[in-house]
Structure 1
Amino acid sequence: MKTTQAAVVGCGAIHTLHVEAIQSSPASQLRAIVDIDPVKGQALAERYGCDYYADYREMLSDSEIEVVHVCTPHAAHKAIIIAALAAGKHVFTEKPVALNPGEVKEIKHTLANTAARLGVCYQNRLNPSSQKIKTLLENHRYGKVLSIKAMLTWSRSHDYYTHSPWRGNWASEGGSLLINQAIHTLDLMQWFAGGVTSLKGVVESSFLGAATEAEDTAIANMELANGARGIFYATNCNTTDSALLLEIHCEKGLLQLHHNDLWFISGEDKELLISDEAPNAAQKCYWGNSHQQAINNFYHSINNADNHNYVDIHQAEISLRMVEAIYRSSITRNWTDI
């Protein structure tokens, strides 16, 4: 079996899921990590038994490395992705793929001139409940979809932003709540509906106004590609991380995802369709359990030319455009096309 050599750039909280996925597969091996903090980086390299680099550009000169995982703050994504692709490396990046659609255009230009692949981590598409919903809707099991409603009420403290100053800033994060926490939910809504055509939204800064220059709360109504309405609400101002509430109203009843359980509700009848496995103690509840599968799928795809079982830049761009459209609509107070 061919063993693919990998490097992970950025050693914040999310990087551990990437390292675990690489190390747990016989098809991949962690060759290097990259972090600008030499003390932290050296210590982690010793723990993982791999090389350490302070500069990702130096790492890219290693011809043995085939895949680069990007786990840095958002503002660094574009430069690292473009450099890695130009060096002939495949790239698997955390969301968002870039700060805005303009940066996506630059990445696409580089991608078009290389044989390397770029995958984006929208792992929640792979949750058992998400897969079940997608299949049911594609098979029209419950008739026409009338609306999709999503409510995300999580908790972020002032310390969350002050301890990581890149968070909540337009220049370094590209926004706040929408582009970081809520982008997964926006992606699921449009994925279930086959896309989104237009939306009207509002962003506000309230309880976290002193900690972030961007939004802590957002609402949006959407015209979805399947003709359904989209109703979206998200906030980081809750006092706890509540489970995502997702409801899909169909002609024959209601699909409801809450607390990792997917139900079908019709009148007084309520049927449990599937349950997601709760995240283990090493993972945050809102990450889900599907990083491993998303990474495995990408590695399988790069080793099988006809396989494209991963979220590419064209799919990843949709939710980023939704984020940008909500920001724009909040200013103009008008419907915005996607």
Structure 2
Amino acid sequence: MSNPRRIAVVGAGVIGRHHGLVISQLADRTELVAVADIDTGRAEQLAAERGGRPYPSLAAALAAEEIDVVVVCTPTGLHGEVAVEALRAGKHVIVEKPAELTVARTDEIIEARDKAGTLVTVISQHRFDPATETTLAAIGRGEFGRLTSGIASIDWWRGQSYYDSGDWRGTWELDGGGALMNQGVHTVDLLVAALGRPVEVFAYAGTLAHERIEVEDVAVGVVRFDSGALGVLHATTAAYPGLSARLQVHGDRGSAVIDNDQLAFFHATAAGREPEEKLMGTTQSTSVPTAGSNPGSLSDAHRLQYLNFLGALDGTEQLRVDLETNRQSIGVITGAYESARTGRPVRLS
């Protein structure tokens, strides 16, 4: 086996600590050698827990350590800056979702990646959940028939203390948006993965249950895809006490419902068979074990994405989530924000 990949984590907050956990779980293939954070106390704490040396910046870590992969866990509005710095140093990059706040800034990372000739993946761990894999595989085999519609719904609660816990939370500059961008991006990503290329979006958004934030805590919208399929967006952090993240995908031969990473409903028609007539939507549901069904198992889906990335570095697997994949989801979300501001539908590039 080759030597472990030497990893630096930039950003030692909640999600940075989670990446530190995943890296420690893959100790036979990865080694945490550096933790960088402008809050040196946080960097020191994570380094003490998971290994490596603390640094006040990525530049300092790059100057002192041999690094193969940089993991970007900063506030979203700094993702591009850190990722480009790492790419210009010739490093591979794992960047937390979303890649950046706009399509244009995502394109800057793509350009830097292409010049560097290295690999970049964006954390979209729910694509690795068994429920998602089951659904997308059936769609790929044509077992849902013609895709007709989908719904991405996130019914969560975030108290005021959540937004007050960091100066960057709830700001356009660093958070890039509210319920739709920050909490909803994963479910929007799955909607795009299922229904294909989005071409138009129309939306409304509002801030209805929180104070001292710039961004929305409620957003609703509709998306048109190039196949003709239609999608519904619903994201909120104002649904007390907090419910679920839910994806529905429908075709003329099958449907699926994924609720909190669980395959709550699944029906597909194999090739060569005629779909059965059903009344009132009554069909037995199917469930499969999934990662992320409780907070303690959250790391497993991240771990699976890390394994895919490491396999791609070794040349044994195809990278399953790249910047272009995430670019489409960012386009839907930023297009929804533009539509909410202007009151008009927005065409997506």
With the length of structure 2 as denominator, give the TM-score of the two structures: 0.90
What is the rounded CA distance, in whole Å, between the counterparts of 1:256 and 1:104 in structure 2?
A: 30
Q: Does the 8 A contact of 2:291 with 2:301 survive in 1?
A: no
Q: Does the 8 A contact of 1:94 with 1:121 survive in 2?
A: yes
Alignment match, 1:296? 307
Alignment match, 2:346? 336
Unmatched runs of 5 consecutive residues or more in structure 1: none
Q: Tell me, yes or no, if structure 1 residue 318 matches structure 2 residue 333.
A: no
| AA matched with 2:69 | V
Indicate the SS of the match to 1:11: coil
Of 133, 136, 149, the match for 1:134: 136
| Matched pairs, number | 333
User: C-alpha offsets along residues 38-89 of structure 1, whole Å, 9 cap, x if unaligned?
Assistant: 2232233222232110111111224521000011111211111011000011
Percentage of pairs with the same residue: 27
Of 264, 269, 279, the match for 2:283: 269
| AA matched with 1:64 | E
What is the rounded CA distance, in whole Å, between the counterparts of 1:49 and 1:222 in structure 2?
A: 45
What is the rounded CA distance, in whole Å, between the counterparts of 2:266 and 2:238 in structure 1?
A: 30
With the length of structure 1 as denominator, give the TM-score of the two structures: 0.93
Of 105, 109, 134, the match for 2:107: 105
Q: Tell me, yes or no, if structure 1 residue 240 matches structure 2 residue 241.
A: yes
Alignment match, 1:77? 79
Alignment match, 1:229? 230
Q: Does the 8 A contact of 1:120 with 1:310 survive in 2?
A: no
Change (3 A) 1:271 1:93: same
What is the rounded CA distance, in whole Å, between the counterparts of 2:10 and 2:312 in structure 1?
A: 21
Alignment match, 2:270? none
Q: Does the 8 A contact of 1:21 with 1:296 survive in 2?
A: no
Q: Tell me, yes or no, if structure 1 residue 28 matches structure 2 residue 39.
A: no
Alignment match, 2:187? 185
Indicate the SS of the match to 1:14: helix
What is the rounded CA distance, in whole Å, between the counterparts of 1:252 and 1:43 in structure 2?
A: 52
Indicate the SS of the match to 2:257: strand
Alignment of 1:59-70 (within 5 A): 59-62=61-64, 64-70=66-72
Alignment match, 2:7? 6
- RMSD value, Cα: 1.8
| AA matched with 1:246 | L
Alignment match, 2:255? 254
| AA matched with 1:166 | W
| AA matched with 2:122 | V
Indicate the SS of the match to 1:65: coil
Q: Does the 8 A contact of 1:264 with 1:271 survive in 2?
A: yes
What is the rounded CA distance, in whole Å, between the counterparts of 1:237 and 1:292 in structure 2?
A: 30
User: C-alpha offsets along residues 182-234 of structure 1, whole Å, 9 cap, x if unaligned?
Assistant: 111111111101221111111111112x1311111111111123321101111
The offset of 1:281, in angstroms, is 4.5
Q: Does the 8 A contact of 2:308 with 2:317 survive in 1?
A: no
| AA matched with 1:311 | V
What is the rounded CA distance, in whole Å, between the counterparts of 1:282 and 1:140 in structure 2?
A: 35
Change (3 A) 1:59 1:98: same
